[in-house]
Amino acid sequence: MSTATPPTVTPLVDTDVKSVLITTDFSPTSDKALGRALAIARHYNANFYLAHVVSSIGYTIAGPPAALLASEAAARDAQKLEQCLVANGSLAGLHHESIIRQGEIFEQLQDIIAQKSVDLVVAGTHARRTLGKFFLGSVAEQIFRGVQCPVLTVGPGSSPNSPLEKNRPFRSFLFATDFGEASLHALPRAISFANHFGVKLILLHVAPVAPIPEGFHWSSTTGDVRQMQENARVAALKKLEEIVSRNPPLNTKPEFLVKFGTPSRVILSVASALGADLILMGLNRVRHVETACHLPWATAYEVVCNAVCPVLTVRN
State pLDDT tens for residues 135-156.
455 677 778 778 889 999 988 7
Give the number of other Cβ atoms within 10 Å of residue 141's Cβ: 27
- Average pLDDT (228-232) is 87
Amino acid at 145: R
If DSSP states are collapsed to H, E and C, what string results for the chain?
CCCCCCCCCCCCCCCCCCEEEEECCCCHHHHHHHHHHHHHHHHHCCEEEEEEEEECHHHCCCCHHHHHHHHHHHHHHHHHHHHHHHHCCCCCCCCEEEEEEEECHHHHHHHHHHHCCCCEEEEECCCEEECCEEECCHHHHHHHHHCCCCEEEECCCCCCCCHHHHCCCCCEEEEECCCCHHHHHHHHHHHHHHHHHCCEEEEEEEECCCCCCCCCCCCCCHHHHHHHHHHHHHHHHHHHHHHHHCCCCCCCCCEEEEEECCHHHHHHHHHHHHCCCEEEEEECCCCCHHHHCCCCCCHHHHHHHHCCCCEEEEEC
Q: Looking at 67-71, 153-157, 213-217, 255-259, which range is the least confident one?
A: 213-217
Most confident listed range (27-41, 133-147, 176-190, 207-221): 176-190
225 vs 75, which has greater pLDDT?
A: 75
Classified as helix, coil or strand, 135 is strand
114 vs 148, which has greater pLDDT?
A: 114
Q: Report residue 13's pLDDT band, with 50, 70 and 90 as the boundaries.
A: low
Q: What mean pLDDT, rounded, does the chain reach?
A: 81
The proportion of the chain whose per-residue pLDDT surpasses 90, expressed as a percent, equals 38
Q: Is domain 19-315 given the CATH code 3.40.710.10 in the classification?
A: no
Question: pLDDT tens for residues 16-75?
Answer: 789 999 998 887 778 888 988 998 898 889 999 999 888 776 655 566 677 778 788 888
DSSP state of 5: P
Residue 192 predicted with pLDDT over 90: no
Q: What are phi and psi of 103, to 5 degrees?
A: 145, -155
The proportion of the chain whose per-residue pLDDT surpasses 70, expressed as a percent, equals 77
Residue partners of 165: CB distance under 8 A and separation at least 6: 35, 39
25 vs 312, which has greater pLDDT?
A: 312
Identify the pLDDT of residue 222.
57
**How far from 114 is each of 24, 120, 157, 294, CA to CA, in Å?**
18, 12, 30, 26
Report the distance separating Cα 289 and Cα 21, nearest Å: 20
- Average pLDDT (96-107) is 89
**How far from 206 is each of 1, 59, 198, 248, 269, CA to CA, in Å?**
38, 46, 25, 24, 12
Residue 209 predicted with pLDDT over 50: yes
Residue partners of 302: CB distance under 8 A and separation at least 6: 134, 264, 268, 296
The residues with which 47 forms a beta bridge, in sequence order, are: 19
264 vs 2, which has greater pLDDT?
A: 264
Identify the pLDDT of residue 316.
76
Q: Report residue 5's pLDDT band, with 50, 70 and 90 as the boundaries.
A: very low
Which bin fits 265, alpha (ψ -120 to 50), beta or left (φ > 0)?
Answer: alpha
198 vs 203, which has greater pLDDT?
A: 203
Q: Report residue 291's pLDDT band, with 50, 70 and 90 as the boundaries.
A: very low
Residue 193 predicted with pLDDT over 80: yes
Identify the pLDDT of residue 164.
61
- Average pLDDT (102-120) is 92
Identify the pLDDT of residue 202.
97
Q: Which helix (H) or strand (E) holds 85?
A: helix 64-87
Identify the pLDDT of residue 27.
76
Q: What residues does each domain of the chain span?
A: 19-315
Q: Report residue 250's pLDDT band, with 50, 70 and 90 as the boundaries.
A: very high
**How far from 157 is each of 49, 147, 153, CA to CA, in Å?**
24, 23, 11
Among the listed residues 140, 135, 142, the one whose alpha carbon sits nearest the alpha carbon of residue 123: 140
Give the number of other Cβ atoms within 10 Å of residue 220's Cβ: 12
Identify the pLDDT of residue 70.
79
Identify the pLDDT of residue 2.
40
